[in-house]
Amino acid sequence: MSIQTLASQEGDTKVLHARGPVILDVYQETCPPCRALKPRLVRIAQPHHAPVYRVDIHCDPPVADRFHIKSLPTIRFGRGRLLPIGFAIGGVSAVGLAFDVPLDVSVVLVTMLSLGYDMTQPLLAGIVTDLGSQRGLAMGLNVFLLFTGFGVGSLIFGAMLTLGFERALGWFGTIVLIAAAIAVPLFRDEQVPRRQAP
């Protein structure tokens, strides 16, 4: 597997319209961390069978706006891959915790449950497609969705506890696994929004 350097605008077709996982590395030659990262990209990509594309920000300055790049180096796996995986990890972990498992297995399952949360919450609540120039709105929306989700989720899970803790976890895990299945087609074709010219 090799690293392919993209010319200007190529990322729009090769990355945004990719059907499988893709690693996009936005870099510049004068960035030491970017140079240090390059040999590791192929090793990161191999288990996922993902092509690795690099874009030099000096050769294609608009790439920063198109892919919402704030710092270098930046590597992105798309939401279309991370959300289903995160939901699946969380769902399997919750279902596993519903059974009487040894303590060391419980520790692993709780850690996996936390990982599933970390893979999904920022991507669902923290990514905002377009709120114009009022950047404070993005954080407000993030916090609103985060705490609304916590509140509604706590109420639902609290109501489910009347069935017993193990059953509540089992149902929670099942619902999250259904969300993982729904996320596959829902986010498959997601694209970074295009900014309107001023």
Amino acid at 114: S
Please indicate, yes or no, whether the overall pTM of this predicted structure exceeds 0.85. Answer: no
Q: Is the pLDDT score of 16 beyond 90?
A: no
Query: Looking at residue 125, what is its pLDDT?
Result: 53
9-26 average pLDDT score = 69
In degrees to the nearest 10, what's the CA dihedral of 45, 73, 24, 59? -140
CATH pick for 3-76 out of 3.40.50.1220, 2.40.50.700, 3.20.20.70, 3.40.30.10: 3.40.30.10
Alpha-carbon distance 131 to 145, whole Å?
15
The ranges assigned to domains in the chain are 3-76, 80-187
**How many CB atoms within 10 Å of residue 17?**
10
pLDDT band at residue 130 using 50, 70 and 90 as cut-offs:
very low
What mean pLDDT comes out for the span 26-36? 80
pLDDT of 71 higher than 50: yes
Mean pLDDT, the chain, integer: 76
Q: Give the pLDDT confidence score for residue 17 in this predicted structure.
A: 66
What's residue 197's pLDDT? 46
Burial of 2 per CB tally in 10 Å (0-12, 13-18, 19+):
exposed
pLDDT at 44 over 80: no
Cis before 39? omega within 30 = no
Quick one: tokens of 198? Answer: 């001023």
Q: Interior CA angle at 109 toward 108 and 115, to 5°?
A: 90
Write the CA distances from 130 to 125, 147, 183, 195, integer angstroms: 13, 21, 21, 8
